[in-house]
Every structure is written in structure tokens, then in C-alpha cells.
């Protein structure tokens, strides 16, 4: 917030925080009356309760990202309170009504009992809660940092697939950075809690010793009188400050041990502990069995066992009702005896692209039920248009009762080209490779790239991400599969009508170019074939002006679409290198000189089609498969570079052996690029 002059204005909350810090420093110096000390001690307890409640009802850890700073502030506040109460106790002999009541009521006026309770609190806080929270914070901070590259890659993949916008990608990257900062800060903040527990123990014994010295030397008390007066108030002081400290330590432990879930802790525990009613009923039955064993009290075991059995029965009834409401029964088709006359007009046209969903997946496409599949499909169309220059026709999404409830099918012009079975209540975790730890889940194969993956429960999502898995929701799996199907079959989606629209678009800005090219030199069908050849190898056709310029230059020489495609690829060399992100050093597979010479001789003699020596062809096929797989395992994009005359030949050979191999000619590469051979194909 800024004022009219442009300088940042001061918020009331900022002033309050700054004032609180100044007040805490003042408490270290200025003696306080008993009434004010009572108010501050009560405020300390209330603040601890608020922090615990916020940690319980917080859905995500970043919603309470101020916790590390808050731990430091509350620790400082308790230290200042300890100093104020110590000063008040040793100077006046009293420490306020709150401390006196804690000493008399909570521990029954028994100093020994108070000391034992205080020591138990210190042990629980220092050894159990603080030690555990400290270890969890260390591991979470390390795993969060280790998982950052995988999460960044996942965001980039979603952005490239059109699943998210640039603004959403920036927001997700910022969230990853905030998570790393949060767990790193919590790793350090737990040290404050640990030190606070040690300080609380030392302060109590210092107050006891100081009380004896002041009472016996300055006030003339006997040892018994000094012990009875100061020890009771000292122990009360320790309990008043350590109980809130224990609550805040518990809050820190709750936050750092939470899994990635948007619901509160209560909802999460209810859903997970009551997820299987049979287990609750089994536990309740076991309690009642223990109640009938001779020697054990019957009533407590029967009461608790009956209560657990009742909860299990209610949970089972609720679960059956929820499943029945979520999975609607398929409606039967209406039966009619009306005879409808057949005609060509009434035939349903074939959709270019179609996604069919099983009935249990339909909610993914219904905005009213929280589904965003339709919006993601629109984003895929935009992303393909931006990356490849191909404006896709509409993509129809419909249900199909003939499919399995969790199955979907992707169809291209009415023919199935991909299918998969999702698990809507789980996440898909993909191993990027090299992970030592695993998470429990159902093994599967990711449909878009054929990667080994696991279907994991939502409770294991954060742990899987911390280990390094790439975790996506079911809708993202479908959209990624659809995107890859579109990329692999983009050339089949480009028809003459789409080419006519492209030509008309270029005509508006470059009429002379279009007038020279078509129909004088090339027909729409011939232009379509060249564009399809480019799309078949993943080459963008965004720069239509450059493509048409190259066609206009070479169409008088040849009308062969294959040869024209090679000439256009040379003109698009920089675009190809940029699109596949190959520069400035192109790591590529090359051909041995003798192999290149024999292939060139065969191409010149018999053309680029069939007729190659079978042994030579098999050697090239095996070499391509071996070297391309080695490049992929090394983390590089498989690329093969050869002479312009051999590029079509190698592409045809590799098309069925390793279809994802990028085959480039030396003419397509900028002379300034450096080519590093990482593999050689030999006969």
C-alpha cells in the first residue's frame, strides 16, 4: 500500500508487531507490577492455544508460513516473562496471582509434586516433541531441496503441454521456493524450541537458588520457610511458562509432520482413520474381548469397545451412501418403434478428435462438480497452435457407457489411437530415474511416454514429491496423453480446408507471394502434403511466409512433395534447432564414413525407397536403436545428423525403429553450431 506521494505507507499490523518487539525489550529492563505480569502470563497461554488451533485447522503448511518467525517471537516473549517474574519474585517475594494459583491449585500446594510434573513436561518437550520436530524439519528441508528440480521439470512439462498458463507456472515456481524457504526456516526455528526447554529448566533451578539466598540472607527466613515460600512460586512460574511452550512445540510438530492436503487436520484424520470401517469394528470387538478376560476391568473396555463399534457402523453406512451418490447408474436408452427414414444428411459426421469417458470419469468434465477437463482441452488446443502452428479442430468430449467406469479412449477420425484406465481418487507418481526410496502404490505404465509409474494415495503425495517423484492428478494424465497423441498425429489433422484457411491468412499480408505460389505453381493438395511432412516430424509450421517463400523458390524445379519438404526444412533450419532446443552444441549420432558411402550409393542407384542391402539396412536399424537409447538414458534428446541426400532415407528407417529420433541434415544446421558426436552407427 502506498500513499499519494508514492512512498510506502505503514500498516497497523506492522506497527503492532514493531510495538510488541519494543515492548518485549522493555520488559527486560523495566520492573512490572503484579497485575501486568498476570495479564502477560495469561496472554502467553492464550497465544499458545491460538497457535495450536491454527496449526490444526490449517490446510496447507504455507498457509502458516509465519510459524518459524512466530516461534522466535514467542520464545523471546517467554524469556522476557521469566526475567520479569524472577525480578518480581526475588524483590517482593510474590510473583502475581496467576503463578500463585498455579502453585496452589494445579499442583495442590505440593512443591515435590510440582517439581516432578515440571520435570516430566521438560522431558516430554525436550526429548520427545522438540527432538522429533527438529529431525522432521531437517529431513523435510533436505528432501524439499532435493525435489525442487523434479518439481520445476513437472511445472515446465505442464506449461509446455498447455495445462497451465505462464502466470500459473510462475505462481507454482514461487510456491516451490516458499516451501523450500519454509522448511529451511523451520529447521532453524526448532533449535529455538530446544534451547527454550533447556533455558526453562535452568531458570527454575536458578530461581530456587536465588529464592533461598534472598529469603535466608535478606529476609531472615529459615531454610524451611524459604523453601515453602519460594519453591512453590518458582515451580508455579515454571509451569505457567512451560505449558504454553509445550503447546507451541506441539504446534510446530503438527505443522512439519503434515502431509500435502488442502483439508484441515481434523478432516484428514477422520477420513483416514475412518476410511475402512471394518478395521474400526475389529478394534472395537477386540476391546470388548479384553473386557471379558478375568482380572481386567469390564466396564471401561466395554464402553470404549462399544463406542468404537458404533463409530465403525456409522462410518460404514456413510461410506455406502457416499459411493452410491457419487457413481450414478447409467440411464437406459429410450426404446421407440418409430421408423426414421434414412438419408445422407442424417448421418453423424466423424469427429476429427474425440475423447470418450467412462461414466465414473464424467465428473472430470463437469464444471459444476469441480471438473476442469474441458478448460484443459481448450488450453491444449492453444498450446498446440502456439508450438506447432496448427489450429486444431474442435475436440469433442463425451461419455461412453460401453467403456469401463474408469476408462477413457482417444479417437482420431473415429478410430481409437489411445486408451487408459485412471484412478480418480489417487495420484500418478512417475520416477524420473535414480531414486533410491520408494512409496507404496499400485504399479502401472504412464500412457503418454510409457514411463514406469505408481498410483499412490493422496496421503503419500507430499512424501513422493519430497523423494523426487513427479506427481500428477488423473486429469493431468489424460491431458498429457491427449497432447502426445495430437503431436504424433498432427499431420493427419491437417486437411485441405485448414490449408485453405492458412493460405487466405497469408494472402492478407503477402498477396504477391500467394498469387505466385498457388494455384500457378502448386495446388492446395501439394502444399498440404509438404506441411503434413513437416508436422509428421514435429517441425512447426508457424512461419508460413518463410515456408511459402521456399516453396515458391523450388516449385519451378520440382513438384515432388518429398524434395520440396527437404528444401523447406533447410529454410527452417534455425526454427528446427530452436524448437528442439539443440544449440549451441548439438550432441548427435553420426554415420560411419563407409556406412554413409554405401547408403549414398544405394540412394543414387535405386532412390530413397526400398532396395537397400538387407544386411546394411539391419545394421543401420540396430545401430539407431542402440545409440538412440544410449542418448536417451544419458539425458539427451536423441538426434542423428547426416548428409542432406541421406536424411529422407535415414528418417524412413528410423520411423519404425525409434520414431522419437530427430533426424537432421548438415544443411539444416547453422555453421556456427558445434556438432559433438556421441555415437557412431557402423555396419
Local confidence band at 270 (pLDDT 50, 70, 90 cut-offs): low
Residue pointed to by grid coordinates 523435510: 140
Over range 472-497, report the average pLDDT.
92
Residue 258 clears pLDDT 60, i.e. is over it: yes
pLDDT cut 70: percent of the chain above it: 86
Which of 119-128, 275-284, 304-313, 502-511 is the most confident on average?
502-511
Q: How far apart are CA 549 and CA 557, in angstroms?
A: 14
Per-residue pLDDT at 336: 43
pLDDT category at 662 given cuts 50, 70, 90 is very high
Averaged pLDDT, 426-449: 87
Is the pLDDT higher at 622 or at 30? 622
Residue 533 near residue 516, CB atoms below 8 Å: no
CA–CA dist 667, 185 (Å, integer): 54
- 586-642 pLDDT, tens digit each: 999 999 998 888 888 887 765 444 457 788 888 899 999 999 988 888 878 899 999
User: What are the helix and strand counts (H, E) for the chain?
Assistant: 24, 12
Model confidence at 109, pLDDT cuts 50, 70, 90, reads low
Beta partners for residue 640, in sequence order: 589, 663
Q: What is the pTM of this model?
A: 0.53
**Per-residue pLDDT at 5 exceeds 50:** no
Q: Which residues fall within 8 angstroms of residue 6, CB to CB, at 6 or more apart?
A: none
Using CA atoms in the order 589, 592, 598, 599, what is the torsion angle rounded to 10 degrees? 10
Measuring CA to CA, how many Å separate 462 from each of 54, 186, 189, 520? 20, 17, 21, 62
Residue 636's pLDDT is 84
Mean pLDDT (whole number) for 350-360: 89
What are the tens digits of pLDDT across the range 544-571? 999 999 999 999 999 999 999 999 999 9
247: left (phi over 0), alpha (psi -120 to 50) or beta: alpha
Tell me, what DSSP letter sits at residue 401? T
Mean pLDDT across the chain: 81
Instruction: Answer whether the bond into residue 556 is a cis peptide, omega within 30°.
Output: no
In the numeric block, the cell 519404425 is attached to: 656
Cβ neighbours, 10 Å, residue 166:
8
User: What is the number of alpha carbons within 13 Å of residue 662 lying toward its C-beta?
Assistant: 24
Grid coordinates representing 582? 539443440
Say whether pLDDT at 63 is over 90: no
pLDDT of residue 261: 53
Name the band, by pLDDT with cuts 50, 70 and 90, for residue 73.
Answer: confident
Average pLDDT over residues 264-293: 74
Contacts of 69 (CB under 8 A, 6+ apart): 185, 189
Q: Does position 332 have pLDDT exceeding 50, yes or no? A: no
Residue 1, pLDDT > 50, answer no
Amino acid at each position: 500500500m502506498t500513499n499519494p506521494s508514492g512512498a510506502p505507507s505503514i500498516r497497523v499490523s506492522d506497527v503492532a508487531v514493531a510495538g510488541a518487539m519494543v515492548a518485549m525489550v522493555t520488559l527486560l529492563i523495566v520492573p512490572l507490577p503484579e497485575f501486568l505480569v498476570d495479564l502477560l502470563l495469561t496472554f502467553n497461554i492464550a497465544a499458545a492455544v491460538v497457535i495450536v488451533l491454527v496449526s490444526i485447522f490449517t490446510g496447507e503448511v504455507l498457509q502458516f508460513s509465519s510459524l518459524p518467525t512466530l516461534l522466535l517471537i514467542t520464545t523471546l516473549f517467554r524469556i522476557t516473562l521469566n526475567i520479569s517474574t524472577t525480578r518480581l519474585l526475588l524483590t517482593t517475594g510474590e510473583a502475581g496471582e496467576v503463578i500463585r494459583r498455579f502453585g496452589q491449585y494445579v499442583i495442590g500446594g505440593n512443591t515435590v509434586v510440582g517439581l516432578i510434573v515440571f520435570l516430566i513436561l521438560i522431558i516430554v518437550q525436550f526429548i520427545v516433541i522438540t527432538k522429533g520436530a527438529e529431525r522432521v524439519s531437517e529431513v523435510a528441508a533436505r528432501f524439499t531441496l532435493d525435489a525442487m528440480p523434479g518439481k520445476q521439470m513437472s511445472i515446465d512439462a505442464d506449461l509446455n503441454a498447455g495445462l497451465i498458463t505462464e502466470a500459473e507456472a510462475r505462481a507454482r515456481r514461487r510456491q516451490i521456493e516458499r516451501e523450500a524457504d519454509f522448511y529451511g526456516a523451520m529447521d532453524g526455528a526448532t533449535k529455538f524450541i530446544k534451547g527454550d526447554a533447556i533455558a526453562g529448566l535452568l531458570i527454575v533451578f536458578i530461581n530456587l537458588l536465588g529464592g533461598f539466598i534472598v529469603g535466608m540472607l535478606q529476609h531472615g527466613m529459615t531454610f524451611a520457610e524459604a523453601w515453602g515460600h519460594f519453591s512453590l512460586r518458582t515451580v508455579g512460574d515454571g509451569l505457567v511458562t512451560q505449558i504454553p511452550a509445550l503447546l507451541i512445540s506441539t504446534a510446530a510438530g503438527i505443522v512439519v509432520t503434515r502431509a500435502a492436503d488442502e483439508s484441515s487436520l481434523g478432516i484428514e484424520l477422520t477420513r483416514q482413520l475412518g476410511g475402512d470401517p471394518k478395521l474400526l469394528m475389529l478394534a472395537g470387538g477386540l476391546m470388548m474381548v479384553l473386557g471379558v478376560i478375568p482380572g481386567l476391568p469390564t466396564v471401561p473396555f466395554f464402553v470404549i469397545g462399544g463406542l468404537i463399534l458404533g463409530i465403525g457402523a456409522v462410518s460404514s453406512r456413510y461410506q455406502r451412501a457416499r459411493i452410491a451418490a457419487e457413481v450414478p447408474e447409467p440411464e437406459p436408452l429410450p426404446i421407440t418403434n418409430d421408423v426414421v427414414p434414412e438419408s445422407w444428411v442424417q448421418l453423424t459426421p466423424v469427429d476429427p478428435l474425440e475423447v470418450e469417458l467412462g461414466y465414473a470419469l464424467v465428473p472430470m468434465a463437469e464444471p459444476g462438480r469441480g471438473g476442469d477437463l474441458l478448460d484443459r482441452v481448450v488450453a491444449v488446443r492453444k498450446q498446440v497452435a502456439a508450438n506447432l502452428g496448427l489450429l486444431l479442430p474442435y475436440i469433442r468430449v463425451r461419455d461412453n457407457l460401453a467403456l469401463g467406469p474408469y476408462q477413457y479412449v482417444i479417437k482420431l477420425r473415429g478410430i481409437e489411437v489411445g486408451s487408459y484406465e485412471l484412478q480418480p481418487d489417487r495420484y500418478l507418481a512417475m520416477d524420473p530415474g535414480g531414486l533410491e526410496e520408494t512409496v507404496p502404490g499400485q504399479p502401472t505404465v504412464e500412457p503418454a511416454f510409457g514411463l514406469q509409474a505408481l498410483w499412490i494415495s493422496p496421503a503419500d503425495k507430499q512424501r513422493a514429491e519430497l523423494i523426487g517423484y513427479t506427481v500428477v492428478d488423473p486429469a493431468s494424465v489424460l491431458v498429457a496423453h491427449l497432447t502426445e497423441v495430437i503431436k504424433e498425429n498432427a499431420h493427419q489433422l491437417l486437411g485441405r480446408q485448414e490449408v485453405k484457411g492458412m493460405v487466405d491468412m497469408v494472402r492478407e499480408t503477402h498477396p504477391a507471394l500467394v498469387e505466385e505460389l498457388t494455384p500457378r505453381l502448386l495446388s492446395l493438395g501439394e502444399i498440404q502434403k509438404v506441411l503434413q511432412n513437416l508436422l509428421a516430424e514435429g517441425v512447426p509450421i508457424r512461419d508460413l511466409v518463410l515456408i511459402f517463400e521456399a516453396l515458391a523458390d523450388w516449385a519451378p524445379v520440382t513438384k515432388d512433395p518429398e524434395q520440396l519438404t527437404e528444401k523447406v526444412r533447410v529454410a527452417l533450419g534455425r526454427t528446427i534447432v530452436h524448437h528442439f532446443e539443440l544449440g549451441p552444441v548439438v550432441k548427435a549420432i553420426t554415420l560411419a564414413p563407409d556406412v554413409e558411402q554405401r547408403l549414398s550409393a544405394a540412394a543414387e542407384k535405386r532412390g530413397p525407397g526400398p532396395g537397400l542391402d538387407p544386411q546394411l539396412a539391419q545394421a543401420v536399424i540396430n545401430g539407431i536403436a542402440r545409440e538412440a537409447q544410449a542418448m536417451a538414458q544419458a539425458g539427451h534428446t536423441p538426434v542423428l545428423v547426416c548428409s542432406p541426400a541421406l536424411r529422407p532415407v535415414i528418417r524412413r528407417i528410423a520411423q519404425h525403429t525409434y520414431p522419437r529420433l530427430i533426424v537432421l541434415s548438415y544443411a539444416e544446421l547453422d555453421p556456427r553450431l558445434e556438432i559433438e558426436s556421441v555415437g557412431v552407427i557402423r555396419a
